[in-house]
Amino acid sequence: MEQLEEKIKQTIRAVLGVGEDDITLETRLAEDLGADSLDVIEISMELEAVFGISFENDAMEDVVTVKQLMEKTARTIDPTYGMPQVAGT
């Protein structure tokens, strides 16, 4: 999970030109970093390329924070991410 978080933060820094200290999991993309809808699309496209995934067209509409972006990316990579584990499986 640490590698995922770091790759996402690197992507945000590259697209938005912000510093490392500007980004935490609670950082809001629009309010704190000034990202507009096109920036969020560019970030999602970069993440698709980095991780070899494809987000649904409207996947980023409800993403506000870096943590939400990380969770959305993790679920796209592994649909079972965040789901409770069943004993014995």
Could you give the CA distance from residue 65 to residue 84 in angstroms, rounded to a whole number?
23
pLDDT in tens, 67-88: 999 999 999 999 888 777 666 6
Q: Is the pLDDT of residue 89 over 60?
A: no
Q: What is the average pLDDT across 10-16?
A: 97
- Which domains are present in the chain? 2-77 (1.10.1200.10)
Q: Is 84 exposed, middle or buried (0-12, 13-18, 19+ CB in 10 A)?
A: exposed
- What positions carry a catalytic annotation? 36
